[in-house]
Amino acid sequence: MNSQAKNTTKTATKKLNAKDRYRMLTRDLDWDFSYADRKEAFPYEEFEGIKITDWSKWEDPFRLTMDSYWKYQSEKEKKLYAIFDAFSQNNGQMNVSNERYLNAIKLFLTAVTPLEYQAYQGYAHVGRQFSGIGARIASQMQSIDELRHVQTQIHAMSHYNKFFDGFQDWAHMHDRVWYLSVPKSFFEDARSAGPFEFLLAISFSFEYVLTNLLFVPFMSGAAYNGDMATVTFGFSAQSDEARHMTLGLEIVKFLLEQHEDNVPIVQEWIDKWFWRGTRLLSIVGMMMDYMLPNKVMSWKEAWETYFEEAGGALFKDLSRYGIRMPKYSDVIVKEKEHISHQAWWIFYNFGHAAGFHTWIPTDEEMDWLSEKYPDTFDKYYRPKWELARKLEAEGKRFYSNGLPQLCQICQIPMTFTEMDGDPTMFSYRDSIYKGERYHTCSDGCHDIFENEPEKYIQAWLPVNQILQGNCGGPDLESILRDYYNFNVGADNMDIEGSPDQERWRKWKGHVA
């Protein structure tokens, strides 16, 4: 039998052009279902009231196929971990400005890194739930980015765990510690919302509008304070963040262009998430103004640059869709001169219950604060530090007795004050829902409560849980030690006299 002669003239397989290749590796991963109902396959798309008429109008915010993604990311990883190794081998921790700086990083690891983990989960969820393939792919890539950020942040900061207190058990602390419920509940609010609200909350409001107010302070703060590990993480995350920003911009424009009925829904989400994001960022404000030994800029300056200028231009652009500036942005313009001082004052009050150290600013720092906040610091906040110094000098360093009232929405102690009138008066707001009283810290949080009360009556407020007996105790020290996993006497209390400070001075050869 003759076997078929091999066809030696091979038909040349045409190499795909870039456009077709891209399409096949992205859009064409979708298919028309022949026997499954599309609405059943994507059950989350309609309940929010968002109307999508034509998913094909989705414009990819960035053009990346998975193989390119893996290639670029793995190149970054190789460099990143080489730098982490060098940092560790060369005792990089000795190059930070001083031992106070590390407390900003303790706050980052316990407050922000777990949010990256929540983001990874959130994007994985919506990355399945959108019926538009472009949105699914962008979300899936972001999900992997966020998981990478969890990992790279942990690795960046793990070296410090060998030398400073308060880096242990950050994941455990995130789920239980009173001030960490602020970031945790923020993200849980987003993740328990529908997929469109999630993208509006995180991709648009947080990762586009407000992103520079988180990223720049921490990364510049690291650069100014000799923290090479965190700086390197920052560089390695930058291109990821650029993609995230473009997704945020795309989702808002896509929703607004798809149907006019989407406009009021999107406006409501912008109002809610802009407010929640700003409240969350009060921790960043205090970090910039009080925790960095070498200051980058004031919170007020950061707000003016990254929101009033940049955000102002953005909302001017969105006005053609009928979108206006977020509700209460006028309040925040006034609050920018207050909230960082108020937030740090909370932690000074409750320094015995914090997993990082707190302190009274130095004279030089207070002069800097005077200069940066000419209308508010000397009048409202310097007197606090004067009294704190007086009490400390009397051997009664002020650690507030008892527990503070928390806002039902942002879960921050109700320290924010009236911006129209008396800025020394707490801005108490309240609601009654189904016979129960609820307290909020501002018109912004009050309105959020009134809009979706059933969501927030379930809030796990740390102070209220402690008082219910759900966090051990009965005394605060047992709660810190057994429920929070703090090393009491090491992680908490003033920086003055702390083990961190003693070690630092010994390493640096300072005279005590």
Partner 1 sequence: MPVQAIQKNYEFDARDAQKNYGDNMLLYVGWDHHTLFCAAHAFVVSPQQSLQDLIDQQIQAGFNQHPDFEHIDWSKVQFTLNRERLTDIDFSKTLADLNFDHKSLLRFVTPGLDGYNGTHV
Rule CB under 8 A: say whether 48 interacts with partner 1. yes
Site size toward partner 1 (CB under 8 A) is 55
Look up residue 50 and give its two tokens: 């968002």
**Binds partner 1 by CB under 8 A, chosen from 384, 481, 503, 505:** 384
Whole-number Å distance between alpha carbons of 336 and 416: 11
Q: Nearest to residue 285, comparing CAs of 339, 356, 346, 212?
A: 339
Whole-number Å distance between alpha carbons of 425 and 439: 15
User: CA 94, 97, 101, 106 torsion: positive or negative?
Assistant: negative
Q: Which helix (H) or strand (E) holds 430?
A: strand 429-433
| Contact characters 276-315, partner 1, x per CB under 8 A | ----------------------------------------
Cβ nearer to partner 1, comparing 158 with 465: 465
Q: Nearest to residue 349, comparing CAs of 376, 320, 311, 385?
A: 385
Cβ nearer to partner 1, comparing 454 with 475: 454
Cβ nearer to partner 1, comparing 22 with 460: 460
Min dist. Cβ of residue 78 to partner 1 (A) = 43
Interior CA angle at 100 toward 94 and 106, to 5°? 90
Q: Give the length of the chain.
A: 512
Cβ nearer to partner 1, comparing 425 with 511: 425
**Binds partner 1 by CB under 8 A, chosen from 43, 264, 374, 489:** 43
Rule CB under 8 A: say whether 474 interacts with partner 1. no
Min dist. Cβ of residue 102 to partner 1 (A) = 24
Cβ nearer to partner 1, comparing 152 with 349: 349
Q: What separation in angstroms does the CA of 455 have from each of 271, 408, 450?
A: 17, 11, 10
CA end-to-end distance (rounded Å), the chain = 98
**Binds partner 1 by CB under 8 A, chosen from 415, 492, 498, 501:** 415
Min dist. Cβ of residue 383 to partner 1 (A) = 4
Cβ nearer to partner 1, comparing 363 with 454: 454
Spatial neighbors of 475 by CB under 8 A, at least 6 apart, are none
**Binds partner 1 by CB under 8 A, chosen from 42, 215, 224, 428:** 428
Min dist. Cβ of residue 386 to partner 1 (A) = 7
Which residues 354-383 are close enough to bind partner 1 by CB under 8 A?
A: 379-380, 383
Whole-number Å distance between alpha carbons of 390 and 360: 11
Whole-number Å distance between alpha carbons of 410 and 218: 21
To the nearest 10 degrees (0 to 180), the angle between helices 133-158 and 66-89 is 10
Min dist. Cβ of residue 118 to partner 1 (A) = 20
**Binds partner 1 by CB under 8 A, chosen from 28, 424, 482, 502:** 424
Q: Are 27 and 115 in contact (CB under 8 A)?
A: no
**Binds partner 1 by CB under 8 A, chosen from 17, 434, 475, 509:** 434
Helices (H), 93-180: 102-111, 113-129, 133-158, 170-174
User: Which amino acid is located at 416 in the chain?
Assistant: F
Cβ nearer to partner 1, comparing 293 with 404: 404
* Residue 404 phi, psi dihedral angles, 5° rounding: -90, 160
Cβ nearer to partner 1, comparing 404 with 472: 404
**Binds partner 1 by CB under 8 A, chosen from 61, 234, 413, 444:** 413
Min dist. Cβ of residue 228 to partner 1 (A) = 35
Question: Strand pairing partners for 437?
Answer: 432
Residue matched to tokens 């051997």: 395
Which residues 392-411 are close enough to bind partner 1 by CB under 8 A?
A: 396, 398, 400-406
**Binds partner 1 by CB under 8 A, chosen from 25, 366, 457, 488:** 457
Which residues 435-454 are close enough to bind partner 1 by CB under 8 A?
A: 436-439, 450-454
If one counts every other C-beta atom within 10 angstroms of the C-beta of residue 314, the result is 18
Rule CB under 8 A: say whether 262 interacts with partner 1. no
**Binds partner 1 by CB under 8 A, chosen from 346, 445, 480, 495:** 346
Rule CB under 8 A: say whether 427 interacts with partner 1. no
Min dist. Cβ of residue 302 to partner 1 (A) = 23
Whole-number Å distance between alpha carbons of 415 and 417: 6
Which residues 171-190 are close enough to bind partner 1 by CB under 8 A?
A: none
Cβ nearer to partner 1, comparing 47 with 507: 47
Min dist. Cβ of residue 291 to partner 1 (A) = 17
Q: Are 60 and 134 in contact (CB under 8 A)?
A: yes
Rule CB under 8 A: say whether 464 interacts with partner 1. yes
DSSP 469: T
Whole-number Å distance between alpha carbons of 345 and 350: 9
Q: Nearest to residue 73, comparing CAs of 171, 176, 135, 144?
A: 144
| Contact characters 191-230, partner 1, x per CB under 8 A | ---x------------------------------------
Look up residue 355 and give its two tokens: 């997993």
**Binds partner 1 by CB under 8 A, chosen from 33, 47, 70, 72:** 47
Residue matched to tokens 């993200």: 187
Question: What is the contact surface with partner 1 in residues (CB under 8 A)?
Answer: 43-44, 47-49, 194, 342, 345-346, 349-350, 379-380, 383-384, 386-387, 391, 396, 398, 400-406, 413-415, 424-426, 428, 430, 434, 436-439, 450-455, 457-461, 463-464, 467-468
